[in-house]
Each structure stands twice: as structure tokens, then as C-alpha cells.
Amino acid sequence: MKVIYKITYPNEKIYVGKDLTDSINYFGSANSDVISRDFTREQRRDFTIRKEILWESETASDVEVNQKEIEYITALRANDPAIGYNRWPKLR
């Protein structure tokens, strides 16, 4: 199963990503330095994130999944630094 997921952090900012293996333990490759700037050391001591599957397919090609990921990043504005942690595609 291939999936597109959304991670929501305690500050309500989001990260949208893809997982081509449907691993329950995969939480993306968001830039840790960018995220860490939004949280104090104390806030990091008790930190809960939410992972939601937005889309899934057993038959989509990797190219189709890549396109779907971009669609969701753009639609949810996850690449807007005020809203999310995606840094690609660049916000226009």
C-alpha cells in the first residue's frame, strides 16, 4: 500500500509526506532544525504528534504517488512556513 499522510504537530503546523511501504513507524523526513525552532526545550519533554492517512492506493505508480503528494502539499498549504513544515515545492 502506498500512502499520503499528514503529520500535525502540537503547534498545529503540518507536514505532508508519502510512504511507499505503508510503514506504521514512518513519520517523514521533515527538516528537524526547522521544526525544533518552534518548540522550547520544555515543550519537547511531552510531545504528541498526529499522523493521518489522507490517501492510499495499492495500484498507483511511484510517479502517481509523487504527484498526489504535491497536490496535497499545495492544497493544504503545507509549504507555507506559517502553516507547515514542507519546504518543497517552494511557496509561490
Q: How many domains does the chain fold into?
A: 1
The reply to whether 70 falls in a domain is: yes
Q: Among 12, 11, 14, which residue's Cα sits nearest to residue 43?
A: 11
The reply to whether 85 falls in a domain is: no
The reply to whether 89 falls in a domain is: no
**Distance of alpha carbon 5 from its chain centroid, rounded?**
6
Q: Are 8 and 14 in contact (CB under 8 A)?
A: yes
State pLDDT tens for residues 65-83.
999 999 999 999 999 999 9
The reply to whether 88 falls in a domain is: no
The reply to whether 81 falls in a domain is: no
Q: CA 66, CA 39: separation in Å to the nearest integer?
A: 30
The reply to whether 72 falls in a domain is: yes
Query: What is the domain extent for residue 34?
Result: 2-76
Q: CA 65, CA 27: separation in Å to the nearest integer?
A: 17
Q: Which residues contact 37 (CB under 8 A, 6 or more apart)?
A: none
pTM of the model: 0.94
Q: CA 69, CA 89: separation in Å to the nearest integer?
A: 10
State pLDDT tens for residues 32-62.
999 999 999 999 999 999 999 999 999 999 9
The reply to whether 84 falls in a domain is: no
